[in-house]
Chains A and B, each alone.
Chain A
Amino acid sequence: MILEGFEIENWSCIKHVSISDLPPTGVIVLHGPNGTGKSSILAALRAALMDYPATSAKRDLKRWFPKNSGEKSKVSVTFRVQGASWRITKQFGSMESKLESRTPMGTWKTEQATAADAHDQTLALIGGKRSDAGLQQLLWLTQAEFHLPDPKAFDSDVQSQLRGILGILQTPLDDRFLGRVKTEWSRWFGARSKPGEKPKLKNDCSLGKALAALEQSRTDLTKIETEFRDFETMTQRSTYLEVLARGLRQNLQASNCLCNELQGEYERCLKRLEAHRNAGERVATAQKELDKALDRRQTRADTEARTQEAERTAGSARQDAEEKTRLLGLAEQELRAHRQELQKNSGVQRARQIMRDEVSVRIERLNLTEQVESARGNLRRAEELTRDLDTLQRQARENPAPDAGKLRALTKNRTTAAGLRADLDAAAITLRLSPDAGAAPPLLVIDSAAPEQPASTADGPAIERPIRRNAEITLPGWGRLELSRGSDARSLDEIEAELQILDRSFSDTIAPFGIPAGDPTALDRLRGLFADQLARDPEVQRLTEEVSRLAPKGVDHLRQEVARLENLLLAGDVAFQPVTAGMDLPSTAQDLKRLDEGLKSESDVNLVAIVTAEKKIEQLEREIDVTPSADSTRKDPKGRNRDETLGLRQQEAAAKERTAALAATSVVLRGELDRLLTAEQIEQEVCDAETALANTKDELDAAQLSESEQTVKDRLDSAKDARKAIDDQLREAERELNQHKGELRRSEGLHQKRAAAAARVEELALRTERETLEGEAFDRLYALFEESREKQLGTVMGPIHDRVLRWMRLLNIGGYRSIRFNDQFLPDALLAQDGASELAFGEESTGTIEQMALMVRLALGATLSKAAEPVVAMLDDPLTHSDVVRLHQMRAVLRSAALGDAVANPAAGPLQIFVFTCHPEWFAIDGAKVIDLGKPEVLRRSSF
């Protein structure tokens, strides 16, 4: 359908508007200021074509009716559909309504004359949908409508038409199938996983619970199996123990028999065994007696040897003590000699030190005298320099001079002022009047000053007046002459103002230098002062540095220092008491230093002799009197004997002590020897004991036992031990067996428990395996469906996608690589150039959303438009969020959309695009029809 024209009367603020001869395709711009009635026209078209029969009394319709007027709203729209022209006319609020068709002759033929029939047939002709449904939902936009329709609310018939042209996207069967799959899938999963990853099971799904139960059942089974294995091990052990106990019982029985036999044999041999045992005891007693006698013989021999050794050692110790006494005498004599030598050298050393001290005092006094003279000289020179410096500084204070920067600024000031003054002079106008003789004097009003009437004189000088801004000259008999500078007058004021500022600044700056403001030589005088200062500053600097060098801490401090040195010198004269009276000491510092060095050299030699003597004395004293500490060991670290580490005096004392001790030991041993049996007595005892032993051995040989008699006791004991061991083993085996039997009885029913647990595990394993497969299969179906849908979408939406993307690039929107459309042919997301990131369609800026939404609408609308049957797009105040640059590009988009694209597959049909706007300059599109609703001849507004 396209519109050919319309006529509206008494609709909202519109009294009358009539538009005709609208182009069938292209852009039609209807513009006018706010309140003209643009939106009202669109509302009237919606009402007449689609939304209300003439008789409707709905509030939404009635609000468009004129206020305070009884006139009826009347709308007539001429439209073309399916190759024929129609005109619908509705007078709202009445029964008056008719639908007419244009005959080939160009006349109108009434097709329907009742309100309902006219409305119904009109609606049927243009698609049967209200103005906010069907294709109108996509292309008839209100002012605020810049978003795309909600996918769920997008007209299903339009989707169906799009499917018919673009191809199958997702069939109803697909929808139902996906619904089923999603329902099943959601039994296990909550969210889709990334490609290649398994989705996470929902916490409360049956599979999750079954897996948890399986895990628990496996744990239970493992526990039961462990219990079972323990019982099996115990069973084997019990069986072994049973067999073992049976064998042990047999062994115990045999062992009892053997013990009984050996007991009888043992009892039969008892007397013979007793006699043999007594003989044996007697042999042992005789042997002991012999051993005692032999011990006594050995003891006596040992004592004799020890006595002889003690007496020999005592003699040797006595000789050693005498040698120690001799060595001590020699050492004490040498020590006395060294002490005398030390005393002599110490006296000489003291005398030399006294002389060196006096020489040193004399040198110091000579140095101090020299320091006083030098300080006095420095003080005199510093005082002279300070006076010169004061003079120069006073001159500087009395004749202040500008610094270089200030002098440059003043120079610039004067240069600028001179320039301005020259400009001022150049701009001045001079009025020169040379009146004729007898002429009446002119009346002059110059620069709004008081009127002046200069006397005119014949042949007199001409009357001259400078004029800055204006002048009024009244020439008697002729009239008034006005002179005016026009805009230049303002420049002169500015120059004057600037000149005043410069002069004021100059006089303020030079005042501190004592130069009057009007002195024309002021700048030269300032330059002279500056030159004087330049010559004076280096001298001041030099004098300041010299004074600082002579008196770094100030002249006063230097003066104090001279006084201090003089006091020191005076105090030294008073305190000096020479001890070398009678000695002829040198008078110069140099000679005194040489003397001091000689005395030092001699003193060093004497000091060496003193130290050597002291060391020798110390060494001798240590050799004589060294007492080892109480905890010292027998040998010192060098391995010397204790005696060698003692002093000679201690060695002598120790040797004497050892001599006395050894003598005492000899006496004790001799007494002990005397108390022992004599050698002869001991030899007799040994002989008697040997004889007794031989006799008892003979008796023992006589009581010797047979081999059987010898072993019977051992055999009996062994048999009893063996029987006890068997008995112990048997008891232990029976104890353990009984214990196991008790334990094993607890295993009753374990087989069923084990089977039940295994059955539970197998059942759960089977169930979870089956359900896992089911879940994975549904997940795979879901994923494949989504992937396949994406590919299908790419194929189906290709033409729309490419056209919109081309327009987006024209507008330089985002630099996106592609757009993802949803099942309802509407865009979902924008994919970045890298393909990895995407932006939801609604996340773009408001202006961009408006532009992209309009482009998508136009592209989809064009898909449903045909060259033979174009469709209408109504845009009420569109693109209000766009910037100027994109608005300019959008013109091209609108022109392109209106033209269509016959080459594309499927072809994009042309559009009849109505743009209602108050900014006609935004939509200055080549070839567009522009209608100015602001013109009264086009649209008359109601008067209120």
Chain B
Amino acid sequence: MRFLHAADLHLGLRITRFDEAACKRLGEARFEAIENLRAKAAEHRVDFVLVAGDLFDDHTVSRTVAERAFTLFEGKTMPCPVYIIPGNHDPLTPGGVWDRDPWTRDQPTRNVRLLREAAPIAVPDLPVVIFPCPLRHRNSIDDPTAWIANHPRAAGDDTIRIGLAHGSLAIMPTLPEDDHLIRKDAADHYGLDYLALGHWHKSLRHKSADGGERTAYSGTHEPMRFPGSAAGLSTGWTSYSADGDAERFQDDGHGTAQLVTIDAAGAPPMIETIEIGRLRWRADERNLTAQPIGEIISEYASREDRALTVLRLKLSGVVDPERHGRVETDLRDIVCSRYCLGSQMLTDMLLVEPNDQQLGAIVGDGVLARVLGRLKEEAQPSDVKVKRVADHALKLLYRIAWEEQA
């Protein structure tokens, strides 16, 4: 028996840090990644797909998003049933997304199995029982898996027991107590062969007491941040968890799912993390002080999959006005037009300083030379605002003077 475990699809993702076209492109990628999931399901001939919560970014997403997601799972190209539980971003609340068409259609539909109740459900034609733990609140101090204790494995029961839950696995003492904490030995305690978890956006496997890996987070199916920075800083997305900025909530720049194979009840599951994301997010930092600008331009112009890479290039160091001109024209053009929408080049930390030969030609020996001296004084660390304005004014001075003397 084989299945795909995905979670945290966050369809209708809240993206605010890009222009409108980029926001649209990045949102669209999350649907395209579902196509990848569907292709992987077909490729690996899985028996079903589990979505462990947060299919939607919020329970107030638009009808279009809700219908499109339903259609993608319900469509003929999806080769198997899809079991879905509400997570903390899309909890099962009255009037919410689950309470609206098409998600209110009578079950079972063709593929979609929305699990509204915390009650065991048998997978047809398979010796598999799923223990779904749907969430009704954004935050709760209750363990969503606690109810499974009422259904211990009976003697002689050889069905494969799979838990499907959304919350934080209590593997560390510092987690927020209202973050749907799940006991860390839940799989062992409830006699589960596999506990499919959602909530944390980074793929993670947790070992049981016997060393077997029966608990896993799939990670988000499509990245939503530049590695190394919080999602909020990357996209404007915010978690409802009090611990939302923690690293475990952050993907590492690509989307993943778990491909799980369980031969029989009690047998250790074989878990393979597969990449299903549409876009890759990449954050580069380059110091240009001693690096030939031509090389960098060539490097970024020749990278693979540029159109599917969301790049944030942060430049620092000191360059002369001529190189700065090339950075601002050639390199910026490559980053902004050849990479995926939303790519950006940050030059706030890049300082412009002409060399000795250039300096005389740029500012001459008239008033500009005096202006340059004053600006350099103001750019010394003093008042932050004054320095910021002075730094920018210096760049403008070099740029305009360079252009005019040329």
Q: Which of B236, B370, B396 contacts A762 (CB 8 A)?
A: B236
Are B236 and A242 interface neighbours, CB within 8 A?
no
B383 proximal to A (CB < 8 A): no
CB-contact partner of A751 in B18, B57, B371, B403, under 8 A: B57
Q: Is the CB of B95 within 8 A of A751?
A: no
Q: Does B393 contact A (CB under 8 A)?
A: yes
State whether the Cβ of A777 lies closer than 8 Å to any Cβ in chain B.
yes
Chain A residues within 8 Å of B72, by CB: none
Q: A177-B404, A781-B396 are in contact. Are A759 and B18 (CB under 8 A)?
A: yes
> Chain A 224-241, CB within 8 Å of chain B: the 1/0 string?
000010010011101101
CB-based contact A774/B392 at 8 Å = yes
Cβ contact within 8 Å between A784 and B366 = no
Given A777-B392, A788-B374, answer yes or no on A173-B368 (Cβ-Cβ < 8 Å).
yes
Nearest CB in chain A to that of B137: its residue: A239
Partner of B370, one of A228, A752, A788: A788
A residues within 8 A CB of B243? none
Tell whether, in the assembled complex, residue B95 and residue A740 are in contact, meaning their CB atoms are under 8 Å apart. Answer: yes
Question: Is B105 an interface position by the 8 A CB rule?
Answer: no
A784, B397: Cα distance in complex, Å: 11
Determine whether the beta carbon of A744 is less than 8 Å from that of B95: yes
**Shortest distance between the CB of A241 and any CB in chain B (Å):** 8
| B364 contacts partner chain A, Cβ-Cβ < 8 Å | yes
Is A741's beta carbon under 8 Å from chain B?
yes
Contact status A750-B367, CB under 8 Å? no
Instruction: Check if B14 sits within 8 Å of A744, measured CB to CB.
Output: no
Q: A173-B364, A773-B389 are in contact. Are A785 and B371 (CB under 8 A)?
A: yes
A758 at the interface (CB under 8 A from B): yes
A238, A754, A787: the one within 8 Å of B93 (CB): A238
Q: Which of A758-776 contact B (CB under 8 A)?
A: 758-759, 761-763, 773-774, 776
Q: Is the CB of A168 within 8 A of B15?
A: no
For chain B, residues 133 to 189, give those with C-beta under 8 angstroms from any C-beta of chain A: 136-137
- In the bound complex, do residue B388 and residue A773 qualify as a contact, i.e. CB atoms below 8 Å apart? yes
Interface size class of A (residues with CB under 8 A): 35 or more
B405 touches A737 (CB 8 A): no
Residue of B nearest to A235 (CB): B93
Interface string of B366-406 (1 = CB under 8 A from A): 11101100110010000000001110110111001101110
Residue of B with least CB distance to A242: B94
Cα separation A758 to B58 with both chains bound (whole Å): 15
Q: Does the CB pair A173–B389 fall under 8 Å?
A: no
User: With a CB–CB cut-off of 8 A, which chain A residues contact B66?
Assistant: 748
- B365 to A, closest residue via Cβ: A168
Q: Is the CB of B16 within 8 A of A781?
A: no
Contact indicator A181/B20 (Cβ below 8 Å): no
Q: Please, how many angstroms separate the alpha-carbon atoms of A228 and B60 in the complex?
A: 9
Q: Which residue of A lies closest to B14 (CB)?
A: A755
Residues of B within 8 A of A778 (CB): 393, 396
**Which residues of chain B have C-beta atoms less than 8 A from A761's C-beta?**
16
Interface size class of B (residues with CB under 8 A): 35 or more
Cβ of B25 within 8 Å of any chain A Cβ, yes or no, is: no
Is B404 a contact partner of A180 (Cβ separation < 8 A)?
A: yes
Given the known interface contacts A741-B95, A776-B389, A777-B393, the answer about A747 and B400 at a Cβ–Cβ threshold of 8 Å is no
Task: Write out, one digit per residue, whether chain A residues 778-801 have a CB within 8 A of any chain B CB (1) or not (0).
Answer: 101100110111011000000000
Cα–Cα distance between A650 and B123 once the two chains are bound (Å): 118
Which B residues are CB-close (under 8 A) to A747?
Answer: 59-60, 95
Q: State whether A792 and B95 are in contact (beta carbons under 8 Å apart), knowing that A763-B19, A787-B374 are contacts in the complex.
A: no
User: B392 — which chain A residues lie within 8 A by C-beta?
Assistant: 773-774, 776-777
Counting chain B CB atoms within 10 Å of each CB, the highest count among A239, A744, A752 belongs to A752
Contact B96 A744 (CB under 8 A): yes
Could you say which residues of chain A place their CB within 8 Å of the CB of B371?
Answer: 781, 784-785, 788
Q: Cβ of A239: which chain B residues have Cβ within 8 Å of it?
A: 91, 93-94, 136-137
Q: How far is the CA of A785 from the CA of B23 in the complex (A)?
A: 42
Contact with A along B6-24 (1 / 0, CB 8 A): 0000001111111110010
CA distance A231 to B60 in the complex (A): 9
CA distance A180 to B66 in the complex (A): 53
> Roughly how many angstroms separate A681 CA and B392 CA in the complex, as a whole number?
123
For B94, the chain A residues whose CB sits under 8 A away are 235, 238-239, 241-242, 737, 740-741, 744
B318 at the A interface (CB under 8 A): no
- Docked complex Cα distance between A144 and B19 (Å): 67
CB interface residues, A 165-198, toward B, < 8 Å: 168-171, 173-174, 176-178, 180-181
A750 to B65, CA, bound (A): 12
Interface residues of B in 67-114 (CB under 8 A from A): 91, 93-97, 99-100
Indicate if A743 sits at the interface (CB-CB under 8 A): yes
Q: Is B63 an interface residue (CB 8 A)?
A: yes
Cβ of B1 under 8 Å from chain A: no
Question: CB-nearest residue of chain B relative to A748?
Answer: B63
- By the criterion CB–CB under 8 Å, are A168 and B60 in contact? no
Q: How far is the CB of A212 from chain B (nearest CB, A)?
A: 19
With an 8 A cutoff between CB atoms, is B61 at the interface?
A: yes
Tell whether B62 is near chain A: CB-to-CB under 8 Å.
Answer: yes
How distant is the Cα of A748 from the Cα of B103 in the complex, in angstroms?
Answer: 13
User: Across the interface, do A751 and B58 meet the contact criterion of CB distance under 8 Å?
Assistant: yes
Are A750's CB and B60's CB within 8 A? yes
Q: Which residues of A contact B14 (CB under 8 A)?
A: 751, 754-755, 758
Is A538 positioned at the interface, with any CB of B under 8 Å from its CB? no
Chain B residues within 8 Å of A741, by CB: 94-95, 99
Cα separation A618 to B389 with both chains bound (whole Å): 109
Q: CA separation between A792 and B62, bound complex, in Å?
A: 65
Q: Say whether B93 contacts A749, CB under 8 Å.
A: no
Q: Please give, as numbers and ranges, the residues of chain B lying within 8 Å of A751 by CB-CB distance.
A: 12, 14, 57-58, 60-62
- Mark each residue of chain A from 145 to 181: 1 if its CB lies under 8 Å from any CB of chain B, else 0: 0000000000000000000000011110110111011
Closest approach, in angstroms, between the C-beta of A571 and any C-beta of chain B?
115
Assess whether B367 is in contact with A789, with CB atoms less than 8 Å apart. Answer: yes
**Is the pair A173, B95 in contact by a Cβ cutoff of 8 Å?**
no
B-side contacts of A759, CB under 8 Å: 15-18, 20, 23, 236
B393 touches A170 (CB 8 A): no
Cβ of B63 and Cβ of A749 under 8 Å apart? yes
CB atoms of B95 and A758 under 8 A apart: no
Interface centre among B16, B60, B91, B236 (most CB of A within 10 A): B60
Q: Indicate with 1 or 0, residue by residue over B346-365, a CB within 8 angstroms of chain A CB atoms.
A: 00000000000000000111
B260 to chain A, nearest CB (A): 31
Question: Does the CB pair B368–A745 fall under 8 Å?
Answer: no
Residues of A within 8 A of B12 (CB): 751-752
Whether A742 is near chain B, meaning CB under 8 Å from some CB there, is yes
B405 in contact with A781 (CB, 8 Å): no
In the complex, chain B residues whose CB is within 8 Å of the CB of A180: 400, 403-404
A177-B404, A780-B390 as given contacts; A742 in contact with B370, CB under 8 Å: no
Which among A174, A751, A791 has the highest number of chain B CB atoms within 10 Å? Answer: A751
Q: A173-B368, A173-B405, A788-B370 are in contact. Are A745 and B100 (CB under 8 A)?
A: yes
Contact of B366 among A173, A238, A737, A742 (CB under 8 A): A173
Contact yes or no, A792 B17, CB < 8 A: no
B59: A residues at CB distance < 8 A = 235, 747
Residue of B nearest to A763 (CB): B19
Chain B, residue nearest A761 (CB): B16
CB-based contact A170/B93 at 8 Å:
no
Please indicate the chain A residues that have their CB under 8 angstroms from the CB of B100 in the complex: 745, 748
Q: How far is the CA of A756 from the CA of B61 in the complex (A)?
A: 12
Q: How near does chain B come to A442, taking the closest CB pair, in angstroms?
A: 105
A776 to B218, CA, bound (A): 49
Using CB atoms, name the residue of chain B closest to A163. B366
Chain A residues, CB < 8 A from B363: 173
| Cα(A238)–Cα(B96), bound, Å | 10
A173 engages B60 (CB within 8 Å): no
Q: Determine whether the beta carbon of B375 is less than 8 Å from that of A743.
A: no
**Could you tell me the distance between the alpha carbons of A541 and B246 in the complex, rounded to whole angstroms?**
125
9 tightest Cβ-Cβ pairs between the two chains A and B: A744-B95, A788-B370, A171-B366, A749-B62, A751-B58, A777-B393, A759-B16, A755-B14, A750-B60
9 A-B contact pairs sorted by A residue (CB < 8 Å) = A168-B365, A173-B405, A235-B96, A238-B95, A239-B137, A740-B95, A752-B65, A785-B367, A788-B367
